[in-house]
Amino acid sequence: MLTLYGNPIEHVKNYRLVTLNTLYRTIFNLKKFDQVLVTRQEYDNVRALDVVNSVRSLKALKVP
């Protein structure tokens, strides 16, 4: 379980998704975040965000 309730980061747009994306590779079995169950849909969104970030990284490297 992770709780960031009351932390200034909760004012950042999509902080839950961004935080889950950051933690995904190390805590991929996180069950609760801010006292709310982490859903399968959220993890699907995290994986999609990871793909988008990978594509952006490749474009930044100008890989054809």
Residue 3 resides in a domain: no
CB atoms under 10 Å from CB of 53, counted, come to 11
Tell me what pLDDT residue 63 has: 53
The stretches in the chain having pLDDT less than 50 are none
Q: Which residues have a Cβ under 8 Å from the Cβ of 2 and sit 6 or more positions away?
A: 19, 23, 27, 30, 32, 33, 34
Q: What pTM, to 2 d.p., does this model score?
A: 0.61
Residue 1 resides in a domain: no
Quote the tokens at residue 47: 């994986």
How many domains would you assign to the chain?
Answer: 1
Q: Give residue 23's domain range.
A: 8-60
Residue 2 resides in a domain: no
Tell me what pLDDT residue 45 has: 85
Name residue 30's amino acid.
L
